[in-house]
Structure 1
């Protein structure tokens, strides 16, 4: 039976628990085995997070770096170049970073549902299954023998063979080829990723049975994102809520339930144990990238971001999430890097101008800014 906790809580405490589970603040020192033993490498960080939002490549690189102590930009790029981390569309039709051995089983769970949801758009674009098969053959011929090709080059191949790529037709064809495990994004070429043959780039894939895979997906999500709700997970993956609830019965005994505001939140026992002492991160100030999992990993973001400030991080609801300043588990503003080289500076834009950062928070902000600059190699 899952443990249930009813501690006196506030939003910031739950936010700090999320910081801890997402590896954005360290756990207190503890004998090995008493806290989560996590590989702090770039690849280990992505594997722990299960999947990390990555439609903005530069943001995704810092999302990993902010969780992998001591890593630099070159380390994260190297992980993509080597295939230790892969970037694809495992769910929601959105690019994520995942561990290579996990990508295929995630696609097995999510691809069919997404394909059905975009079927009408494919009809509008004149994309038929024979078009997909022809494009697949053209693409695999182009990358045969370990070759790699840019998106622009591949679209030229498609266009020359009569498969038009204009008007989003090309990106929909490409996404379909990646969702079906024929292509995957591979090494970087500047700020773009080249496309490679899936089987050559990821020679070993785990393929658990569907029920086992959904249960693992659930457990890993709550361990890396908790406290979170069942609906958070269902939204995050876009898996049917009925399937999610059925799988949840298989893993809930490995989780702890926390009641807050009339809602049940779930997390690992290790994260819940932090409530026995003091949840870390009370005086932390973090500079997170746009599209970070701390904000986007949940359907309800109000625990860490007051609703009246939603529009400040996504102006006009344009779908482009700004970089966020997170203090003590709460999003309190946005930030930007201004200038370049030695003169570059990280500048905050706080939501509430009447509450400037105090001396301790200013010092923490300065440390966070130096860490970001160091990550870039500045």
Structure 2
């Protein structure tokens, strides 16, 4: 059994999470290194995802993350919770094999409403492969969503009323298609990705059976997100709690347990070792993007975000996370990008004002963000 350590404060727990996520202590050397460590990084909003990586890889620019997507050293797909994430290409297929079935079962009712059958999905697979092949022959690196929808329509597959989105998502969930390079042309920065056949874009995938894969996913989640509970993992991955607990039995000898308020939090031994000294970052202030894994990657976010401020981060509980300021391991406010041509950043602290040192740190973070996004 792992050693037990008791009662770090919530702020210390938050700083341990910052360390685990590469947000304190120097980060990672490359974009693929950061993404591979995090396993899955929420990326429904691409701009937020770019900065989430940038905060973990010092000295990079948004163009470096886009270049990784263009090169296929990082992929963006729907591995869990029906939302887009960044992940290492070799990890996508085995994670889909664990999570995809449950997601597709949850969509079965909606597919019946839309008149989508398994034959329709197979038909659209063949259409998509032919479309991608024809475009490739003409020098295009992939097919846009609009090109695929037009091809579906031409073959009698209706795409209106979200039917096209569900057909395309089903092809990606089955690892027949994957999002590939950005769709920019003529020197313009792309805002969408092109779709390509999965096996062409990701020729080498790891193979893990379900039990082995869940254990691997849990271990990597705790290593990159800990301290975290088993319920946090089950929510994040959408793996049934019974299977998550069984996986914990397989990996807990490589983890450390913290007992706090009757709950078990798990983290890596390397992160736990920092409790022997002062955990770094007590004076740190970070301007993190909306949807960052530091906040979104847990079922219970009250450890780092006081419940009374939760609606200031997710107004109306609408699922849209605002950018957050994190001071010493605690979410202390939100921030916004303002202006038109003269772009700037503006702090929105919960307490109404930042102290002088925190104000200076925030503006340094703001300058780093603007430089990153412009690069």
TM-score for the superposition, normalised by structure 1: 0.94
Which of 173, 176, 183 aligns to 2:177? It is 183
Cα distance per residue 1:217-265 (max 9 Å; x no partner): 0100000000000011011111111111111111000000011122110
CA distance in 2, matches of 1:293, 1:333: 16
Q: Which runs of 5+ in 1 are unaligned?
A: 28-37
Shift of 1:45: 0.2
1:373 lines up with 2:370 in the alignment: yes
Residue aligning to 1:317: 317
Residue aligning to 1:229: 229
Residue aligning to 1:22: 21
Q: Which runs of 5+ in 2 are unaligned?
A: 184-189
CA distance in 1, matches of 2:160, 2:209: 38
1:351 lines up with 2:356 in the alignment: no
Matches within 5 A, 1:330-349: 330-340=330-340, 343-349=342-348
User: For the Cα contact (< 8 Å) 2:283–2:328, is it kept in 1?
Assistant: yes
Matches within 5 A, 1:285-300: 285-300=285-300
Cα distance per residue 1:17-63 (max 9 Å; x no partner): 10110011116xxxxxxxxxx85200000000010001111111111
Residue 227 of structure 2 aligns to a residue in which SS? coil
Residue aligning to 1:111: 100
1:78 lines up with 2:67 in the alignment: yes
1:361 lines up with 2:350 in the alignment: no
Relative to structure 1, the CA distance from residue 319 to residue 39 in structure 2 (aligned partners, 3 Å threshold; closer, same or farther) is closer
User: For the Cα contact (< 8 Å) 2:28–2:56, is it kept in 1?
Assistant: no
Residue 252 of structure 2 aligns to a residue in which SS? helix
Residue 319 of structure 2 aligns to a residue in which SS? coil
Residue 76 of structure 2 aligns to a residue in which SS? strand
C-alpha RMSD of the superposition: 1.3
Residue aligning to 2:38: 49
CA distance in 2, matches of 1:159, 1:114: 25
CA distance in 2, matches of 1:152, 1:282: 49
Name which of structure 1's ranges 332-341 and 83-92 shifts more when overlaid on structure 2. 332-341
Name which of structure 1's ranges 143-152 and 77-86 shifts more when overlaid on structure 2. 143-152
Which of 122, 131, 145 aligns to 1:151? It is 145
TM-score for the superposition, normalised by structure 2: 0.95
Residue 144 of structure 1 aligns to a residue in which SS? helix
Residue aligning to 1:2: 2
CA distance in 2, matches of 1:232, 1:299: 5
Cα distance per residue 1:299-337 (max 9 Å; x no partner): 000011111111111111222111111111111111111
Residue aligning to 1:91: 80
